[in-house]
C-alpha cells in the first residue's frame, strides 16, 4: 500500500538531501547601543570635572589664605552707600553682627575672623582715612564672650580718644543686648530701630552637671587635684554651695565692670547722678526701644536714615559720602560668596558667626542674652 506524500512534500518543500535535513535559516538582529550607558558616562564625566575644579579652587584658596596669613593683612570690602553732590567728607559705617567672640577659625579656604578681629580691622581702616568725619557702628548682637565684648569696648573707647574729632554713633538693629549693649556704651549717641530689643545688663555662667545621670549608669569620674576648688564647676561632681559662692564672686566682679562701663558711657546723656537708677534696671531684663529711651539707655528711636542725620549733625556736615567697611568671610565649598552662618534662637532671628556658642564642657562667663 503506497503512502501519500509527507507533510513537507504537501507544502511544496524540496526533499531532504542524502546528508540529512537542511538547517533552518537564522535571522541576525543588531542591537542598538544602550542610551542609559551613554548618559551614565556623561554624568560621571561631569562629576569628575566638578571634583577637579573644586580641588583646584581649594588649592588656590589655601595658598591665598597662607599668603594673607603670612602678611597679616586685613582688607575689608568698601561699599559706597550714597554720596551727596560734591561731597568729599565721609561718614564711615562698620558693624558688629552676631555672637561676639575672639577666636579666629582656620578653614581650608582661609581664616574666618572673629567679631573682635573683624571689628579691629574695620576700625583701623576708618582711623587711617583722613576724609572720615563721623563713624556709625551698626550693632546686631545678643552679646557673647565677656573678654571679647570688653576688648571691642576698649577699641572703640580708645578710638574716641585718638580721633576726638570724629563723633561715634551706634545704630542698634534687631537686637543689641548684654555684650551688644556693652560695646555700645562709649558712643556719643545711640539710635535704635523701633523694633530693637536691648538691655540685658548682666552676666551669666552656664554650668552643666551630668553626675546624677552618670551615677544611674554606673560611671564614675575621679579627679586628682591640688586643691578643693580646682575642679569647681566640673560636670562630673556635685555642684556644692561652696562652688556656687565661688562662681558668684566671679560673676559679681564682672557685673560690677558692666555697671561701670554703662555708667561711664551713659551718665551724662541719661542724667544719672549716681548708679542707683542704673542698678534698678540692670537686673538682666531686656527692653523695647521705647522702654530703653525712657530709661536713658538710648538717645533716639529711628531707622538708618535717622542715624545718618544724627551723624551729620554731630560732625557738623551738610554733605557727605557714606561708605561701608565690612569684612567678607572666606567662601565655603557650596557657597563661594561667603561662609555659612549659624543661627541661634535668642527670641529674635539673628545670624551668628560660625563660632556659635562656646563649648559647655566647662563654666563660661558670658555677657549674653539667651532666654
Q: What is the 3-state secondary structure (H, E, C) of 78-124?
A: EEEEEECCCCCCEEEEEEEECCECCCCEEECCEEECCHHHHHHHHHH
Cβ pair 185, 261 in contact under 8 A? yes
In a domain, 33, yes or no: no
Q: Does the annotation mark 178 as catalytic?
A: yes
Domain match, 134 and 67 both: no
pLDDT of residue 361: 53
- Reading the block at residue 158, the C-alpha cell is 580708645
The values of phi and psi at residue 152, to 5°, are: -65, -40
Residue 328 lies in a domain: yes
Is 24 a domain residue?
A: no
Indicate if 211 and 266 belong to the same structural domain. Answer: yes
**Residue 293 forms part of a structural domain:** yes
Which pLDDT value is given to residue 32? 58
Catalytic residue, from 225, 230, 313, 316: name it. Answer: 230
- Are residues 172 and 68 part of one domain? no
Are 61 and 127 part of one and the same domain?
Answer: no
Distance (Å, rounded) from C-alpha 22 to C-alpha 273?
123
DSSP summary character for residue 195: T
- Whether 315 and 133 have beta carbons less than 8 Å apart is answered as yes
**201 vs 211: CA distance, rounded Å:** 32
pLDDT for res 368: 96
pLDDT of the chain along its 371 residues, tens only? 445 555 444 444 444 444 455 555 555 555 555 566 666 777 777 878 877 776 666 555 544 443 443 333 455 556 666 677 778 899 999 999 999 999 888 766 667 788 999 999 999 999 999 999 999 999 999 999 999 999 999 999 999 999 999 999 999 999 999 999 999 999 999 999 999 999 999 999 988 888 889 888 998 888 899 999 998 888 889 999 999 999 999 999 999 999 999 999 999 999 999 999 999 999 999 999 999 999 999 999 999 999 999 999 999 999 999 999 877 665 554 444 443 333 333 344 444 443 444 454 566 899 999 87
Residues 119 and 198 in one domain: yes
Asked, for residue 14, whether it belongs to a domain, the answer is: no
**Same domain, yes or no: 60 and 168:** no
273 part of the active site: no
Query: Quick one: which of 205, 151, 144 has its CA closest to 346?
Result: 144
Tell me which of 24, 52, 73 is where a domain ends. Answer: 73
Residue 12 within any structural domain of the chain: no
* Total-model pTM: 0.73
Under DSSP, the state recorded for 227 is: S
Question: Quick one: 103 and 239 in the same domain?
Answer: yes
Crossing angle of helices 241-270 and 146-162, rounded to 10°:
30
Residue 55 located in a structural domain: yes
Is 55 in the same domain as 202? no
Shared domain for 147 and 62, answered yes or no, is no
Eight-class DSSP state of 202: S
Domain that holds residue 59: 43-73
Q: Are residues 169 and 50 in the same domain?
A: no
- Split into its structural domains, the chain has a count of 2
The residue from 95, 117, 141, 178 that is catalytic is: 178
Block residue for cell numbers 567662601: 331
Amino acid at each position: 500500500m503506497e503512502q501519500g506524500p509527507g507533510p513537507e512534500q504537501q507544502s511544496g518543500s524540496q526533499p531532504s538531501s542524502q546528508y540529512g535535513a537542511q538547517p533552518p535559516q537564522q535571522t541576525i538582529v543588531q542591537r542598538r547601543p544602550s542610551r542609559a550607558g551613554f548618559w551614565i558616562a556623561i554624568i560621571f564625566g561631569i562629576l569628575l570635572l566638578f571634583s577637579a575644579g573644586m580641588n583646584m579652587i581649594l588649592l588656590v584658596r589655601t595658598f591665598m589664605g597662607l599668603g594673607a596669613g603670612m602678611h597679616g593683612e586685613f582688607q575689608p570690602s568698601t561699599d559706597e552707600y550714597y554720596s551727596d553732590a560734591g561731597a568729599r567728607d565721609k561718614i564711615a559705617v562698620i558693624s558688629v553682627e552676631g555672637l561676639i567672640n575672639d577666636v579666629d577659625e582656620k578653614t581650608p579656604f582661609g581664616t574666618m575672623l572673629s567679631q573682635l578681629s573683624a571689628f579691629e580691622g574695620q576700625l583701623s581702616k576708618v582711623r587711617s582715612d583722613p576724609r572720615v568725619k563721623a563713624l556709625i557702628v551698626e550693632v546686631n548682637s545678643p552679646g557673647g564672650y565677656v573678654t571679647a565684648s570688653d576688648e571691642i569696648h576698649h577699641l572703640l573707647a580708645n578710638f574716641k580718644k585718638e580721633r576726638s574729632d570724629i563723633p561715634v554713633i551706634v545704630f542698634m538693629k534687631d537686637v543689641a543686648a548684654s555684650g551688644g549693649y556693652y560695646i555700645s556704651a562709649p558712643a556719643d549717641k545711640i539710635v535704635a530701630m523701633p523694633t530693637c530689643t536691648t538691655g540685658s545688663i548682666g552676666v551669666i555662667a552656664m554650668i552643666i552637671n551630668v553626675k546624677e545621670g552618670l551615677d544611674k549608669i554606673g560611671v564614675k569620674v575621679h579627679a586628682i587635684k591640688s586643691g578643693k576648688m580646682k575642679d569647681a564647676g566640673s560636670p562630673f561632681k556635685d555642684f556644692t554651695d561652696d562652688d556656687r559662692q565661688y562662681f558668684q564672686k566671679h560673676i559679681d566682679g564682672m557685673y560690677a565692670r558692666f555697671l561701670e562701663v554703662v555708667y561711664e558711657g551713659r551718665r551724662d546723656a541719661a542724667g544719672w547722678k549716681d548708679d542707683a537708677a542704673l542698678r534698678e534696671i540692670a537686673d538682666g531684663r531686656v527692653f523695647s526701644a521705647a522702654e530703653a529711651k525712657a530709661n536713658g539707655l538710648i538717645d533716639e528711636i529711628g531707622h538708618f536714615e535717622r542715624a545718618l542725620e544724627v551723624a551729620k549733625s554731630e560732625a557738623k556736615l551738610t554733605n557727605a559720602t557714606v561708605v561701608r567697611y565690612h569684612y567678607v568671610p572666606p567662601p565655603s565649598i557650596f557657597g563661594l560668596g561667603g561662609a555659612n552662618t549659624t543661627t541661634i534662637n535668642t527670641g529674635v532671628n539673628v545670624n551668628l558667626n560660625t563660632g556659635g556658642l562656646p563649648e559647655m564642657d566647662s563654666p563660661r562667663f558670658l555677657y549674653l542674652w539667651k532666654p
